[in-house]
């Protein structure tokens, strides 16, 4: 079970490559966008030929925060977390193996589904950037969702969300919209993201990050927004709003998140057509 | 003297076209970016053949705010405001004509100089968007420059400023950097825009706009950022940061500011090479 920021997945794969043995199961928990694809590519590149079962969860099963150097506080355990193996034909085997310890995991269809249903990619970086001045001048002393998501900010989130769902559609996948996800995860409803987010009592009390040097940017931009945008560019979907957020994050952190992020060549899928990519994630057929 | 938001310049030109007579002077005060170019194009398109003197100021000579429907409060009168005629060979004639009433106007070299030294284009939209959540959730109850310009926000302003200065350089023009402008206008110094802005006591007390439906977006994006970005794209300068701000403004206002803005064809300079553009603004030579 690999429970680390997704920026570390490639390193973990590099370290694990010589030691993995046939029949072992590796679960990226969570995978963010493209976790299994990148992990698998790094294993191949490092000569790992072991027949492992590789899977990723759509999100972490715990709602939790670190309380100290070796201490974690679990607020709640989610009721259902989608999980998919690469290839998806192996998902039942993985679920079967962990079912007793983790009955909450359910079939996530494919790693493209788990990766493209990544809602943090939509909410975190844009919400952080459109509140950049306030985060930095107050040290995050305001309610991130309740005060940070205003009608205009929500319109940007909706634009990003539309682009993500359209990228998924170009791959033949029906991703959940932000509104559907809020309904499913929290039973929060509304006709706009602004309404639905403000109708979710669980967001009350959640403070903003205290600094812009936060995983909402340095993890979510390269490991979530970059692969979604890269898929969009490759398969002909306009991702202008996502791209704007990536660029502003690059400027603010003075980092080339396109270079550091999960581009299609890092995922090993640069040359694949949609049907080849589908065959790869579903059945493991890889040219 | 045309003292209106620059979004109205084309309309004023359309209304004035049949009535202008040889020898009249029209001053756009200010022109923002491309004011004279657009005004002149609209006059031509509407059959105006009068030999007028057309000029634009780099900024409004007054630091002022409207106090009521027919009332204005002037905080101060600027000491020097660059002004340029189209073509620049006529600037001395315009300055001569208005010198007695307005001794503050000085030679602005050309309308590309006045247009590309437009500092509001750099400061206003980005500062507004990177504080979008705070503006909308507090109604602008914070100090726009002092609390809104944090180190990260200033880095974005610096990126936009670099792009603007580089666009100018591609046209053979040495534009003032934001730092140089702060030094010149307010004698405010610093090694970064963050420092220089915080070293300008005049920014203290200036509140943020109370809403995002403000000229800092609906005027400055189409009339200032769009023409700067369009010049960059035409003459091979990367304007990714400026473009990101334009796109986010489009999403937030659900308006296509590229379509509504001053693109090169609206300025009538779409087909011109750099040397043709230079000849046009300097000497009035237009193919």
Of A149, A245, A252, nearest to B156 by CB-CB distance is A252
Beta-carbon separation of A152 and B137 below 8 A: no
Q: A280 and A272 in contact (C-beta within 8 Å)? A: yes
DSSP B19: T
pLDDT of residue A276: 97
Average pLDDT for chain A: 96
Place of tokens 């639905």: A196
Looking at residue A90, its pLDDT comes to 98
- Check residues B203 and A228 and name the one with the higher pLDDT: A228
- Whether B270 and B264 have beta carbons less than 8 Å apart is answered as yes
**Alpha-carbon distance B276 to nearest alpha carbon in chain A (angstroms):** 33
Task: Give the tens place of pLDDT for each residue, A245-272.
Answer: 999 999 999 999 999 999 999 999 999 9
Same domain, A10 and A97: yes
Q: What is the pLDDT of residue B2?
A: 98
- Mutation target for A interface from B126, B248, B252: give the one with most A CBs within 10 A: B248
Domain extent for B226: 117-255
Is the CB of residue B248 less than 8 Å from the CB of residue B129? yes
Strand, helix or coil for residue A275 = helix
Task: Indicate if B11 and B30 belong to the same structural domain.
Answer: yes
pLDDT at A25 over 80: yes
Q: Do residues B152 and B201 both lie within one domain? A: yes
Angle, helices B151-170 vs B226-234, to 10°: value is 50
Final residue belonging to a domain, choices B67, B87, B114: B114
Whether A278 is in a domain gets the answer no
pLDDT (tens digit per residue) in B65-116: 888 888 988 888 888 999 999 999 999 999 999 999 999 999 999 999 999 9
Q: How far is A148 from chain B (nearest CA, A)?
A: 5
* Any domain includes B269: no
* Inter-chain CB proximity B136 and A159 less than 8 Å: no
Are residues A90 and A182 located together in one domain of the fold? Answer: no
Q: Which of A27-36, A74-83, B169-178, B218-227 has the weakest average pLDDT?
A: A74-83
A55 near A83, Cβ under 8 Å? yes
Question: Can you tell me the mean pLDDT for A179-192?
Answer: 92
A81 and A142 part of one domain: no
- In chain A, residues with a C-beta closer than 8 Å to the C-beta of B142 are 134, 137
The answer to whether residue A11 scores a pLDDT higher than 90 is yes
Mean pLDDT over residues A188-211, rounded? Answer: 93
Residue of B nearest to A240 (CA): B247
A124 is catalytic: yes
Outline where B20-170 has alpha helix (H).
35-45, 91-98, 111-116, 119-129, 132-138, 151-170
Nearest to B252 among A137, A155, A251 (CB): A155
Distance of alpha carbon B283 from alpha carbon B277, whole angstroms? 10
| Domain shared by A180 and A87, yes or no | no
Buried b (16+ CB within 10 A) or exposed e, B126-136: bbbbbbbbbbb
A226 shares its domain with A103: no
The confidence score (pLDDT) of residue B76 equals 83
pLDDT of residue B263 exceeding 80, the answer is: yes
A231 and A165 both lie in a single domain: yes
Q: What is the DSSP string of A191-219?
A: SSHHHHHHT-GGGTTPBPPSSSSSHHHHT
Q: Which of A137-141, B123-127, B180-184, B193-197 has the lowest mean pLDDT?
A: B180-184
pLDDT in tens, B203-253: 888 899 999 999 999 999 999 999 999 999 999 999 999 999 999 999 999
Terminal-residue alpha carbon distance, chain B: 28
In terms of domains, do A96 and A220 share one? no
Report if residue A51 sits inside a domain.
yes
Whether pLDDT at A91 is above 80: yes
Whole-number Å distance between alpha carbons of B280 and B51: 16
Q: Residue A87, preceding bond cis, omega within 30 degrees?
A: yes
Burial B84-99 (b: 16+ CB within 10 A, else e): bbbbbebbeebbeebe
The number of folded domains in chain A is 2
The reply to whether residue A130 touches residue B127, judged by beta carbons under 8 angstroms, is no
Q: Do B159 and A251 touch (CB under 8 A)?
A: yes
CB contact under 8 A, A241 and B251: yes
Q: What are A57-70's pLDDT values in tens digits?
A: 999 998 888 888 88
Q: Is residue A13 in a domain?
A: yes
Cβ distance of B130 and A133 shorter than 8 Å: yes
Nearest C-alpha in B relative to A137? B147
**Which pLDDT value is given to residue A287?**
66
- Does some domain include residue A134? yes
Q: Which of the four pLDDT bands, split at 50, 70 and 90, describes residue A75? A: confident
Are B187 and B71 in the same domain?
Answer: no
Q: By the 8 A CB rule, do A97 and A173 touch?
A: no
Whether A39 and A168 map to the same domain: the answer is no
Q: Using a CB-CB distance cutoff of 8 angstroms, which residues of chain A are in contact with residue B251?
A: 155-156, 159, 241
Provide mean pLDDT across the span A43-54: 96
- In the predicted model, is pLDDT for residue B287 greater than 80? no
Contact B155 A131 (CB under 8 A): no
Q: Is B260 contained in some domain?
A: no
Strand partners, A28: A2, A56
For residues A166 and A195, state if they share a domain.
yes
CATH classification of the domain holding A126:
1.10.1040.10
Indicate the residue of A136, A159, A245 with minimum beta-carbon distance to B150.
A136
Report yes or no on A283 lying in a domain.
Answer: no
Catalytic residue among A29, A113, A124, A198: A124
Closest Cβ–Cβ partner in B133, B159, B248 for A150 = B133
- Closest chain B residue by Cα to residue A127: B133
């Amino acid at each position: 079970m690999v429970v680390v920021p997704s920026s570390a997945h490639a390193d973990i794969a590099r370290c694990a490559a010589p030691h993995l043995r046939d029949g072992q199961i590796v679960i990226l928990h969570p995978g963010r966008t493209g976790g299994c694809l990148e992990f698998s590519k790094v294993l191949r590149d490092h000569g790992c030929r072991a027949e492992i079962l590789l899977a990723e969860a759509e999100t972490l099963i715990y709602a939790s925060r670190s309380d100290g150097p070796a201490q974690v506080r679990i607020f709640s355990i989610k009721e259902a977390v989608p999980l998919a193996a690469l290839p998806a034909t192996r998902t039942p085997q993985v679920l079967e193996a962990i079912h007793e310890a983790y009955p909450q995991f359910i079939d996530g269809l494919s790693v493209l589904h788990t990766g493209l249903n990544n809602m943090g990619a939509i909410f975190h970086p844009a919400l952080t950037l459109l509140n950049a001045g306030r985060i930095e001048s107050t040290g995050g002393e305001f309610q991130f969702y309740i005060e940070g998501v205003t009608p205009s900010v929500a319109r940007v989130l909706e634009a990003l969300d539309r682009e993500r769902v359209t990228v998924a559609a170009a791959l033949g996948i029906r991703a959940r919209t932000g509104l559907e996800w809020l309904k499913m995860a929290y039973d929060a409803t509304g006709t706009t993201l602004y309404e639905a987010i403000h109708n979710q009592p669980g967001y009350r009390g959640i403070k903003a990050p205290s600094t812009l040097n936060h995983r909402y940017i340095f993890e979510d931009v390269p490991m979530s927004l970059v692969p979604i945008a890269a898929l969009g560019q490759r398969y002909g979907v306009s991702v202008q709003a996502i791209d704007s957020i990536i660029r502003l994050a690059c400027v603010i952190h003075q980092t080339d998140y396109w270079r550091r992020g999960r581009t299609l060549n890092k995922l090993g899928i640069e040359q694949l057509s949609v049907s080849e990519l589908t065959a790869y994630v579903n059945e493991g057929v890889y040219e």
